[in-house]
A and B are shown apart, each in its own frame.
Chain A
């Protein structure tokens, strides 16, 4: 038994023995102290061994003070270890030296005695019975069978599952299989929320389930739902939300799903390149790509754009009445692509800037994730707490998701080249949107940057240096834009909204150019859909000073559809936390699903059965 062996046990060194002896006034010789120390060590070990027996018989895993005292008592030794407690006693290390001690808080008895909140006594011990497994299977629900995946869940998880299914669906569809749910948007929506709360639940280790969650989310993004035939159904929101969720999953569970990333990119690409697919699927693919970050956009959407553009153009150019519906869808896709591309350009520019600046100083407090994602070397990690930020709308989330891209060196296409090419598709709308947020006033890559701006955007020269303010402003403008959008089923615009939103962006923006732009945009609601349609053919050609017509083409249709749905949904959970100050209340209606859905409260209603069972 050498040093190594010795260290397995607690030891009382000789010095301690001497010290203790001195404290009681006994002087010990070195020899005696050594012997005593050894004996003490042995006795301690012995007592510990014995006490473990009490622990085992009490069917516990943790040795308690009580156990040790019992062991001492049964070896007829004074119990010295004080009183036991149910809770584990945390050992605290002392910084100086390797000393550990149990924290012993001082209790102010006076305060305790005079306290008004009298502590409740422990609840009475009771027995509750519940059927855990029927016929060896976990089919608890009387009205049907529980899917197989659920069988393996523990009883409490099973309860959780039941609560969830009851709260969300009222029926018994499989947790993981969205396909068994009908194409009811309402249900899908709830389901997505459930997925979200699952993902957010820090106490739930999803493990391999993440994959199935991702697949169900993908379903929501891409599937040409039956419900989308009816233009009144707001499946766009669903897709947006699903995309947002997807990015969220990748953000929180990146480690679990990292292998899925490329798979998902591939499937999105496939959908995008498949002209047979309806436009809503395309829309989903674009939004999904956007959600996966600008890298994804750059890799998949951008190279695809030339091919895809032809299709889209064909749709948009078709003025026939019968095509109206499809065309409206096309506009949406167009808007989505525009947003995605814009994001891509911005991020690229930003990355260039930052790379040049040494990647440090930029954007201290802007995009919420600016700090977080830089530290994070994970393949794709959206910024931390995208959900805790004031709900600026889906776009802001997308932005957040997009912002969280890795700082990799993968830049096959130079920014100017990309811009030029994209400009050839989008024309001025791109220029306008891009310049709404030029955060790189004096940025080093001005060689490429400045000429661009100078060429396309007269206002670019404006001293628009305040990065911190710019990002929110962008999101605001993105949110505004759908109001002017000419989607066919657009609901009457709440009058307050038009006033408030630009006002806000105005207030938040320090750039005169953007102010004027937002003014002009809000002052041009009269621009009809037909007007905006004209943009498309013209988009090929630079149309510099027409104003900001394309402004209206940003993700459209967000506000349409059944607003109340989202509302209703939220109330079915715990009350929605009041939306914070930034967005006007009207927004809350428009954007019902902004990550504010708290997870269902775990209730234990099931446990209140009587003990009686037909035995």
Chain B
């Protein structure tokens, strides 16, 4: 085994050392005055322990006992199909690995769990089983998840029988999936005969069957490589790589360099490619055609690959056209299986707590349940009208425990409503004004920007590992006085909140030091008291905007954390990173509450659904997944992007999702139906920022190509086909109407757009670093 692999395997050890720090962090670093997150949600804190059973009782999840300290999700993609025996095989492999790395604690837990309930393990993706439940489970949990990613992700779904060394399985056993099956010199013949066949079939079938080229090509190539036929592999690649769709170029580039069996072992992406089945959707007719051909020709080699490594989702009806196929393909794992997106998603918004300007009677509103009769419906603010009735598509109000509103939150809500009345109604004729926040002298490299919801604060994350906060209003940023000084303050006075601030510290901006690597994501809490930042150093940090100090460092990712985002109700946040999982955290827990695993590559961006019940993640594997916060399930899986996804945005009504990627396209998705509903072409470079206007009328996209573009999202949503047939089959015809939908394009001369934000009155704020070169 090469050096690199070995080193990689050692990484989990590091975690051990982190662990000690972990436990202490939140407690120690909480500031004297306030216990950071704890005060936010006192109920949540003590309820936390009870929450678990609660969730279990009403959750429909298939997770049995292991929600307690981190739900390991079980994405449908990879879960099914593996016989039980192999799972045991896998488990043994994992145990072996753990033992070798002297992780005895985990070994014990795993053994206990595995022996007791190996059926459960067969459901969990990570093989090692999430259920380390009680006690110190946190460490084992994060550790195991890591293990599963670094090395053991592979074992579960290997399909080949593992014959001999049952007692001494190795991680490399996985690779035996590519045991020699045919004469390597015939691979080219096989492939080209299939190619000839596909090219000779009727047009309507050709497009569908052409989907086979890429996965077959990759698998055959890898097989050749695995079996040490280096030269044949090269020849094979040379001959057929040109046939692949252009959007697979990136993958081909990786493949091209990979010519040795040893290389295979270290390459996680390809490991995943082999272990997860590439999904193709083919009509029954085309499939029959293919099957007949392969059987006639006795082309077993290809047939075996199709059987073992591909998942062909057969549907009845007309074959799809080339454009239909192209719009959905491009991801690293093929298309979405139809059944994956069938789960019900409660995309509606939660009912707004009803707040009267005199704050008297809203205590029970937050927990108001659906059927509960409202007593005071009469004199509510007109703006809240849409939230009066419970949206049928909304989740139950307490599906996810949310923090109770504080007085300050209510004040803010009132402010929000007041502002809303002054909101400009946007539309194609009434485009928003754009304000550009240029970061000047940002030599160190601006990597992330966020605005508070009320646009009063602005935070920038920089590559020199600093986070800087600016006030976007004339109000300066002030720290709270020191503890000693606070003692001198008359706590009864009316302006105590004013008095606790230290005037001497007033300044336009504050720097936050603490990270040890570039800061890739920043996110303000909705109440503007906290700021999250995620960094290359593998941590997410929570900063207080009262004291401008770091409160908590959330460690768990252990690899660069690319993005983080606060829940719209505060308290929860999500992060995603290079370790290919997204994690759900609560501010007062140092361990993640959920781990969303399933992406085959880095999780590049994460966003909370407006109702806080779902989390969406975009990944380098060119897919988007929507996760249920309640049970950690992946409920939506969107493919269609041709490049890593770098921006996501929910429409304000929660029904739609927009995603932008390096391919310069914005795709629009209907969450309820699980369909792609629009494609917005025009940008020429990576789209780093997406934002819907407050009413959802306009979608703004900002890109590296120094432009902001405004799109008519209303029109895009109205144009979509939502008839039953489309919904049932998922075959969409995308109108090519990007130009009609484009309402405006606005250039900055040399400032890539890093972030976009609509103020409460629908003024568009854009931010980016002026690039003088």
- Which residues of A are interface residues toward B (Cβ below 8 A)? 1-2, 5, 8-9, 38-39, 41-43, 45-46, 49, 53-54, 56-61, 66, 70, 74-77, 86, 88, 122-138, 152-157, 607, 610-613, 615
Chain B residues closer than 8 Å to A133, beta-carbon distance: 433-434, 744, 746
Complex Cα spacing A554 to B533, Å: 76
Chain A residues closer than 8 Å to B517, beta-carbon distance: 70
Contact B238 A2, beta carbon cutoff 8 Å: yes
Chain B residues closer than 8 Å to A155, beta-carbon distance: 436, 747-749, 751
Contact B744 A125, beta carbon cutoff 8 Å: no
Minimum C-beta distance from A14 to chain B (A):
15
Q: Which 10 A-B pairs have the closest CB atoms?
A: A136-B431, A156-B749, A1-B234, A154-B747, A76-B7, A154-B749, A45-B257, A133-B434, A123-B441, A132-B436
Minimum C-beta distance from B642 to chain A (A):
15
The segment from B388-396, B466-474, B730-738 found at the interface with A is B466-474
Assuming the contacts A41-B257, A45-B257, A611-B471, asked whether A129 and B748 have C-beta atoms less than 8 A apart, the reply is no
Complex Cα spacing A49 to B256, Å: 12
Complex Cα spacing A613 to B2, Å: 58
Contact A132 B435, beta carbon cutoff 8 Å: yes
Is B40 an interface residue when CB atoms closer than 8 A count as contact? no
Closest to B451 in A: A615
Assuming the contacts A54-B536, A57-B447, asked whether A38 and B749 have C-beta atoms less than 8 A apart, the reply is no
Closest to A130 in B: B436
Is B123 an interface residue when CB atoms closer than 8 A count as contact? no
Complex Cα spacing A62 to B433, Å: 32
Contact A615 B472, beta carbon cutoff 8 Å: yes
Complex Cα spacing A70 to B517, Å: 9
Closest to B448 in A: A59
Assuming the contacts A38-B259, A56-B686, A70-B536, asked whether A127 and B470 have C-beta atoms less than 8 A apart, the reply is yes
Complex Cα spacing A60 to B257, Å: 25
Residue in contact with A42 in the complex, picked from B257, B471, B578, B747, CB distance below 8 Å: B257
Residue in contact with B441 in the complex, picked from A70, A122, A132, A135, CB distance below 8 Å: A122
Interface string of B554-584 (1 = CB under 8 A from A): 0000011010000000000000001000000
Complex Cα spacing A388 to B710, Å: 46
Minimum C-beta distance from A101 to chain B (A):
22
Chain B residues closer than 8 Å to A66, beta-carbon distance: 463
Residue among B235, B257, B263, B431 facing the most chain A CB atoms (10 A cut-off): B257
Residue in contact with A156 in the complex, picked from B259, B440, B508, B750, CB distance below 8 Å: B750
Complex Cα spacing A138 to B233, Å: 57
Assuming the contacts A156-B750, A612-B472, asked whether A75 and B4 have C-beta atoms less than 8 A apart, the reply is yes
Complex Cα spacing A122 to B751, Å: 19
Complex Cα spacing A42 to B4, Å: 12
Minimum C-beta distance from B198 to chain A (A):
24
Contact B559 A2, beta carbon cutoff 8 Å: no
The segment from B76-84, B211-219, B759-767 found at the interface with A is B759-767
Closest to A86 in B: B443
Contact A1 B238, beta carbon cutoff 8 Å: yes
Chain A residues closer than 8 Å to B438, beta-carbon distance: 127-130, 607
Contact A59 B437, beta carbon cutoff 8 Å: no
Contact A136 B710, beta carbon cutoff 8 Å: yes
Chain B residues closer than 8 Å to A154, beta-carbon distance: 706, 747-749
Contact A125 B440, beta carbon cutoff 8 Å: yes
Is B21 an interface residue when CB atoms closer than 8 A count as contact? no
Contact B435 A611, beta carbon cutoff 8 Å: no
Residue among A77, A126, A130, A152 facing the most chain B CB atoms (10 A cut-off): A126
Minimum C-beta distance from B371 to chain A (A):
40
Residue in contact with B7 in the complex, picked from A42, A77, A153, CB distance below 8 Å: A77
Closest to A88 in B: B773
Contact B435 A131, beta carbon cutoff 8 Å: yes
Residue in contact with B8 in the complex, picked from A76, A130, A132, CB distance below 8 Å: A76
Contact A74 B560, beta carbon cutoff 8 Å: yes
Chain B residues closer than 8 Å to A88, beta-carbon distance: 773
The size bracket of the interface on B is 35 or more
Residue in contact with A127 in the complex, picked from B439, B462, B520, B704, CB distance below 8 Å: B439
Complex Cα spacing A53 to B435, Å: 30
Question: Can you list 23 A-B contacts with CB-CB less than 8 angstroms, sorted by A residue number?
Answer: A2-B238, A9-B257, A42-B263, A53-B578, A54-B560, A56-B662, A57-B560, A58-B445, A70-B560, A75-B8, A76-B10, A124-B441, A127-B439, A127-B440, A127-B458, A132-B435, A132-B746, A135-B431, A154-B747, A154-B749, A155-B748, A607-B438, A615-B765
Is B621 an interface residue when CB atoms closer than 8 A count as contact? no
Closest to B710 in A: A136
Minimum C-beta distance from A609 to chain B (A):
11
Chain A residues closer than 8 Å to B763, beta-carbon distance: 613, 615
Complex Cα spacing A80 to B553, Å: 29
Complex Cα spacing A297 to B509, Å: 66
Contact A1 B468, beta carbon cutoff 8 Å: no
Chain A residues closer than 8 Å to B562, beta-carbon distance: 57
Contact B686 A42, beta carbon cutoff 8 Å: no
Complex Cα spacing A136 to B439, Å: 22
Q: A70-B560, A127-B438 are in contact. List 4 more A-B contacts (CB 8 A).
A: A1-B259, A46-B263, A57-B604, A607-B440
Minimum C-beta distance from B761 to chain A (A):
7
Assuming the contacts A56-B662, A132-B746, asked whether A46 and B434 have C-beta atoms less than 8 A apart, the reply is no
Residue among B4, B710, B752 facing the most chain A CB atoms (10 A cut-off): B4
Is B75 an interface residue when CB atoms closer than 8 A count as contact? no
Complex Cα spacing A177 to B620, Å: 50
Is B260 an interface residue when CB atoms closer than 8 A count as contact? yes
Contact A131 B433, beta carbon cutoff 8 Å: yes
Residue in contact with A129 in the complex, picked from B2, B266, B437, B646, CB distance below 8 Å: B437
Chain B residues closer than 8 Å to A124, beta-carbon distance: 441
Chain A residues closer than 8 Å to B470, beta-carbon distance: 127, 611
Chain B residues closer than 8 Å to A58, beta-carbon distance: 445, 447, 463, 518, 520
Assuming the contacts A1-B238, A128-B438, asked whether A61 and B260 have C-beta atoms less than 8 A apart, the reply is no
Residue in contact with A125 in the complex, picked from B260, B262, B441, CB distance below 8 Å: B441
Contact A42 B518, beta carbon cutoff 8 Å: no
Assuming the contacts A57-B604, A125-B444, asked whether A131 and B434 have C-beta atoms less than 8 A apart, the reply is yes
Is B414 an interface residue when CB atoms closer than 8 A count as contact? no
Closest to B473 in A: A612
Contact B440 A53, beta carbon cutoff 8 Å: no
Interface string of B74-107 (1 = CB under 8 A from A): 0000000000000000000000000000000000
Contact B536 A56, beta carbon cutoff 8 Å: no
Chain A residues closer than 8 Å to B437, beta-carbon distance: 127-129, 611
Residue in contact with A59 in the complex, picked from B440, B620, B688, B773, CB distance below 8 Å: B688
Residue in contact with B434 in the complex, picked from A57, A70, A132, CB distance below 8 Å: A132
Complex Cα spacing A611 to B7, Å: 49
Contact A122 B436, beta carbon cutoff 8 Å: no
Considering the complex, which residues of chain B in the window 259-290 have a beta carbon less than 8 Å from any beta carbon of chain A?
A: 259-260, 262-263, 266-267
Chain B residues closer than 8 Å to A129, beta-carbon distance: 435-438, 472
Contact A5 B234, beta carbon cutoff 8 Å: yes
Assuming the contacts A1-B256, A42-B259, asked whether A611 and B743 have C-beta atoms less than 8 A apart, the reply is no
Contact B260 A42, beta carbon cutoff 8 Å: yes
Interface string of B640-658 (1 = CB under 8 A from A): 0000101000000000000
Complex Cα spacing A133 to B764, Å: 10
Contact A59 B446, beta carbon cutoff 8 Å: yes
Minimum C-beta distance from B494 to chain A (A):
27
Contact A615 B4, beta carbon cutoff 8 Å: no
Residue in contact with B445 in the complex, picked from A60, A128, A136, CB distance below 8 Å: A60
Complex Cα spacing A134 to B517, Å: 38
Contact A53 B602, beta carbon cutoff 8 Å: yes
Is B315 an interface residue when CB atoms closer than 8 A count as contact? no
Chain B residues closer than 8 Å to A613, beta-carbon distance: 435, 472, 763
Interface string of B497-527 (1 = CB under 8 A from A): 0000000000011000000011010000000
Minimum C-beta distance from B255 to chain A (A):
10
Complex Cα spacing A612 to B765, Å: 12
Chain A residues closer than 8 Å to B24, beta-carbon distance: none
Contact A56 B472, beta carbon cutoff 8 Å: no
Assuming the contacts A5-B256, A9-B257, A46-B257, asked whether A612 and B442 have C-beta atoms less than 8 A apart, the reply is no
